[in-house]
Amino acid sequence: MATCLIVDDSRVVRQIARKILEDLKFTCTEAEDGKKAQEACSKAMPDAVLLDWNMPVMNGIEFLRELRKMPGGDKPKVLFCTTEADLNHIKEALSAGANEYIMKPFDSDIIQTKFSQVGLIG
């Protein structure tokens, strides 16, 4: 079963995302900021990271840059999931190594197609 780390400072968003991803048969873990996400990844690399941008302590893009430098950190598919909905943010995310980009608000349909586009759902 594929694993997904959900990184968002909003507990509600994490809960909604978790429900959708568990329905898609992912095993989920959560982190509330980039720092906690980094710690989680150093213990066990997930198959996917659903990543918010704006968070306290360490934001999403900083986390992504750190992740891609970690051993095995090139492996997880990273899907941004953020209210930042302009081309500049999207381009910055892609050049930092993001695989997909979801603009909030999202629904289960969007999550499902994005996860299948990065090859995590058959």
Partner 1 sequence: MRVEDFDLFAKFVYQRSGLVLTKEKAYLLDSRLMPVARRWNFKDLGELANALRSKSDEALLADITDAMTTNESSFFRDQKPFDQFRQVVLPRFLQARAATRRLRIWSAACSNGQEPYSLAMILDEEASKMPGWTIEIVATDLCREVLEKAKQGLYTQFEVQRGLPITMLVKHFTQIGDKWQISKQMQGKIKFQQFNLLEPMTALGQFDIVFCRNVLIYFDPATKAKVLEGIGRQMPPDGILYLGGAETVLGVTQAFKPMDGQRGLYVHGSAASTSAAVPGVTPAATAVR
Q: Could you say whether residue 83 binds partner 1 (CB under 8 A)?
A: no
Q: Could you say whether residue 115 binds partner 1 (CB under 8 A)?
A: no
Quick one: tokens of 9? 């400072």
Q: Could you say whether residue 17 binds partner 1 (CB under 8 A)?
A: no
Q: Which residues contact 19 (CB under 8 A, 6 or more apart)?
A: none
Q: Please pick, from the candidates 103, 108, 115, 120, the single residue that binds partner 1 as defined by CB under 8 A.
A: 103
Q: What angle do CA 111, 67, 29 make, to 5 degrees?
A: 50
Summarize as ranges the residues that interact with partner 1 (CB under 8 A).
85-87, 90-91, 94, 98, 100-103, 106, 109-110, 113-114, 116-117, 119
